[in-house]
Structures are given as structure tokens and as C-alpha cells.
Structure 1
Amino acid sequence: MILAFTPNPAIDETYTAPGAAIDASHRVTLRHRQAGGKGVNVARVLHSQQYEASALFPLGGNTGREFLEELTAAQVPSTAVPVGAATRRSMSFFDPKANTTSVFNEAGAPLTAQEWEQVRATYLQLLESAQAVGICGSWPAETRRSVMRSFIVDATKAGAYTLVDTSGDLLLEAASNGAVLKPNEHELLAATGAPTLLEGAQELLRRGSAEIYLSAGERGLYHFTQETPLIAHAHLGRKLSGNPTGAGDSAVAAILASHVDGASREETLRRAVSWSASTVLMPTAGVLSPAHQALRQEVAYRILPEGEDI
């Protein structure tokens, strides 16, 4: 089983707003609401591809009830841990004319120490049958680094492949605890303060990360590992128009699925790029376009020559 843990879930609301501009009124032409958060998107994708996967998250308030109703209707296996604070919302505005997406995220309310204990106890139970774990997204306000550390250590002790997709100081903490990481280029540079992507990735490896899958947008996906200094790179080679929200989550799903399958480095990167790209073609996160198989054939893969910058 693949466990996708979302510490800070949200109700995702997606609007299509042609010609969207700041300080102006807009008529929304399409609205979609679904349970979201990075780990939930990961579980959704894995479930759609017939992988045994389960989402875990804290949930509260009326928004929490909406969240669970939608996810249950979608038949995505999940476990909710009740908490006192209402689950947050996230709003995405996609402008098809400019091919841009603006995202507005509410901050998640803090969890009490007792609530964290309940979440962790449930997590430990689920770890007993997990081959791989994705710890995905932001964390509720005021979460201490030691809290995230405990979840990584628990997964490692359970023998699960542990991937963390987060940002800021928590990304550095995850690296120091040996997790596999999946930052995007902006998160990498912001967290490490490095002047280049290569130096940023090297810093995370120096801190102890086992592997790094670096998402660089249209330039594709780079893979760094402690096992070899050689960097692998895969990219689609053409620009796609659409909504990129959730594309990174589909890449995480592909990496976790590939680990469970025992896939090669090349196959993992090809799958991650094609799944990510196919999500751009869809109106909402957590969904792959039927074109993902064809897109995989377009993915270019290579090992970078030593000394080549990225």
C-alpha cells in the first residue's frame, strides 16, 4: 500500500476566469470543488491508476464534512482524523486566454498537541501495511519541525520508502532526516539560499537527503542521488497549455508508484514527466489525461555529462 499523508488538507475550488485581472470584477465561467491538498491529489492519481493507496489527513468543521463527502463519493480510500479547527480552503483562478493560474491558499489552523498525537497514532497503524509513504504539502500554522521529523522517522523505522514534498525550513529538516525530496526550482532556491539549482540540490544531499527529484517546470525533472554523482534529466520537449495546478502531485504519485513497481531510474522519470504533463491538460488536480501514455513516448531522457550545469 502507498500512504499519502496530507498534514494541511484543503477544499480546492477551481475557477475559470478569462481575462482575469487584479482590481476588476469577473464573471466565473466554471467552478469545481473537490477535496484537495498535495497528498490527497497523490492518492487520487494513484487510485485512478489502480494502485493500492490511501490518504490520511486531519479534518474539521463544515469544510471538513464537505471534504470527506466529496472524497468518499470519488471512492478514494482515506482515513480522516477529527480535529477541532475547520479545514481550510484553496482557490485557483485559471485564465485560459493568458494560460496563467493564480492560487490563493488559506493558512491551516494549528493542531493541539493531543490532536497531533491522534494523527500520529493513526499514521503508525497505517504504516504497518505501507511500502511507500508520501508526506506532502504545507503544515498547519505553528507546527514545530520536530513534529514533521517524527513522521519521517516513523516511516523510516517501518521500512517504508519515504518521500517528502514541502518547502522552506521543513524541506531542510526533511533532508537532514534522509528523506527523498521533490521540491520545485523555486522551493529549492528559497530553502537553501543557493545561487543555482545544482548548488541547491548538492546542499540538500550534503544535509542527508537520499534522493532529490527536482521539478523545473517546462524544463522537466532532474534526479540527484547519493549513489552516483551523475544527474538524470527528463523533459517533454514541448509546451502544453492548461492548468498546472496539481502537476507536481502527479509527479510524486508517479515516483511512489515506480518505487513500488521496482522501476528503473529512467522509467521513473519518464512516468513522472508524462503524468505531470497530462495533469496540465485537465481542468483540476488529481486527474491524469488519457494522453499520459502517448506523452510518455515523447519524453526525452538523458544522463547529464559531468560538469554540465542545469
Structure 2
Amino acid sequence: MILTVTANPAIDLTYRVDALEVGETHRVAAPASRAGGKGINVARVIAQTGGHAFALTTAGGPTGLELVNDLLAGGVPHEVVPVAAPTRSSVAIVDTGSGLTTIFNETGAALSDAEWDAFRDAVERLAIPATCIVGSGSLPPDAPADFYARLVALATAHGIPSIVDAIGPGLLLAAEAGATVLKPNRRELAESTGESDPIVGAERLLALGAQLVLVSLGEEGMLAVGTSASGAREVLSARLPQPLHGNATGAGDAGVAAVASCLAAGITDPAPILRRATAWSAAAVLAPLAGELDPSYPELESRLVFSS
């Protein structure tokens, strides 16, 4: 069972417009609404591809009730830690003409000390049967900076792999804790490390203690930076021959789901991990909503251009 941990979930609202014009009024159909947050998206993708995932999250207020009802309706195995603050919302506006998506993410509200204690207790309890722990997404305001590092330490104590998709101090501390895989995108990596070159930024995370770093490069595919059996630095890249157009929301989460499915199955070679992560990310771009893959993901993997 792959445990996904989402401390700051959201109700994802997705609007579609023919052309987004800044400063103009748009008439739109009712948005698609579903439980979201990176870890929940990861759990959905793992389930769609035949894996077993369990989503741990929080929920509060009317939007929290909506989130729980959607998880139940979608058959997503989960546990919810009740919190006082309403669950935040995230709005994605998909411009079908240009293929670009604009996203507005609410920050969310801080958790009380008692709520953090309850959430951490749930993580520790659910880690016992887990085969992999995934920590991903933003954290509520005033969250402990070392929250993801503690997830990594917990996974290590249980002898299971860990994956962290975060930004800033959370990413750096997870690296220092020895995360099995870190998966930032290019912008998150640059903001976290101060390095504009993704290979240099990934190498900094490896130097801190991470075992493997996968970097999403958007239309350019994905990069994997690790250490070979001989101790030499190993850099691999994968991309499709032509970029895809669609909704990129959730593409990174699909990549994390691919990594988790590999690690839970005992696959640790960076090459197959990179192939699956790149293909699943691409398939997510073709899907209408975050947390889904277009069924073409096996065919997309066969078309990848792979280099080292």
C-alpha cells in the first residue's frame, strides 16, 4: 500500500474557455469540481493504473465535507483528520484555444498544534503497512519546516522508500533526511536551490543526501539525476518527439505516482523509473482533470526519446 500524505488539500475547480482574455468577461459552464491536492491526485493515478494507494489528508468546513464526499464517491481509500479551518479551493482555467492553463491556488489556513499532532499520529500509524510514503504539495501556513523530512525519516525507520514533491526549505530538508526520490519541477528546483541549471540544482540535492532527483521540464520532458553503482554522477533524460497540448494540471502528480508504483514494486533503476514517470506525466496532460491519465500512457512510453 502506497501512503500519500496531503496536509493542505483543496477542492479543485476546473473551468474551460475557448480563449482567456485578461480583463474581459467570460461566460462559462459550471466547473468540474473534485477533491484535489497533490497527494490525492497521486492516489487517484495509482488506483487507475491498478496499484493500491491510501490517501491521508485533512478536511474542514463545508468544502471539507465536499472533499470527503468526493473521495467516497470516487472510491479513493482514505483517512481524513478533521480540522477547524475550511478546506481551501484551487481554480484552473483551461484555455482550449491556446492549450494553456492558468491556476489560482488558495494558500489555505494554519492548523492548530492539536491538529498537527493528530495528523502526525495518523501518519505514524498508517506507515506500518505502507510499502512507500509520498509527501507532496504545499503545506498550510506556519507548518513545521521539517514535516517532509520527518516523513522521510519515518519511511527510513520502517525500511521503505520515500518520495517528496515540495519546494523551498521542505525540499532541502527532505534531501538532508535522505529521501529516496525528490521530484520538483524546473521552477521549484531553481527557487529551492538558487541554481538555474536543473542538473546543477539536482546535484545540490544529491550532495545534501537525496538518492535520486527527477525534474519535470514541461514540454522538454523529464530529467533524472542520480549516482551510478560506480559512484559516478548519472544524468538521464526522456521526452516525447513532439510536445503535447492539453491541461498540464496534475502532470507532476502523475509523475510522482509513476515513481511510487516503481519503488513499491522494488524497481530502483533510474531508467525505468524515468520512462514511466515521463509517460504518465504526458498522459496526464491529455486527460481532462488532474488525477487522471489518458489511456494512451503505454503507447506514449513506447514513443519516448531517451538519452544519457
Query: Which TM class, normalised by the smaller chain length?
Result: over 0.9
Give the TM-score taking structure 1 as reference length: 0.95
Q: For residue 55 of structure 1, what is the aligned residue in structure 2?
A: 55
Distance 2:168 2:197 in 1: 16
Task: Answer whether contact 1:220 1:273 (CA < 8 A) is retained.
Answer: yes
Distance 2:58 2:137 in 1: 13
How far 1:22 sits from its partner (Å)?
Answer: 1.8
Task: Answer whether contact 1:16 1:30 (CA < 8 A) is retained.
Answer: no
Q: For residue 258 of structure 1, what is the aligned residue in structure 2?
A: 262
Q: For residue 161 of structure 1, what is the aligned residue in structure 2?
A: 161
Is 2:269 aligned against 1:268?
Answer: no
Distance 2:141 2:55 in 1: 21
Is 2:141 aligned against 1:136?
Answer: no
Per-residue deviation, residues 37-92 of structure 1 (Å, max 9, x unmatched)? 00000000001112111000111111010001011101011110111111100000
Equivalent residue of 2:253, what SS? helix
Is 2:184 aligned against 1:183?
Answer: yes
Equivalent residue of 2:299, what SS? helix
Pick which of 78-87 and 148-157 moved more: 148-157
How far 1:243 sits from its partner (Å)?
Answer: 0.4
How far 1:30 sits from its partner (Å)?
Answer: 5.4
Partner letter of residue 243 of structure 1? Answer: N
Is 2:301 aligned against 1:300?
Answer: no
How far 1:150 sits from its partner (Å)?
Answer: 2.3
Per-residue deviation, residues 288-309 of structure 1 (Å, max 9, x unmatched)? 1111111111012222xxxxxx
Give the TM-score taking structure 2 as reference length: 0.95
Task: Answer whether contact 2:220 2:243 (CA < 8 A) is retained.
Answer: no
Distance 2:123 2:214 in 1: 25
Distance 1:171 1:165 in 2: 7
Unmatched segments (≥5 aa) in structure 1? 304-310
Task: Answer whether contact 2:214 2:224 (CA < 8 A) is retained.
Answer: yes
Pick which of 241-250 and 257-266 moved more: 257-266
What is the aligned-residue RMSD (CA, Å)? 1.2
Q: Aligned pair count? A: 303
Q: For residue 147 of structure 1, what is the aligned residue in structure 2?
A: 147
Pick which of 214-223 and 243-252 moved more: 214-223
Partner letter of residue 216 of structure 1? Answer: L
Per-residue deviation, residues 206-252 of structure 1 (Å, max 9, x unmatched)? 11111101111111111112444121111112111110000000000
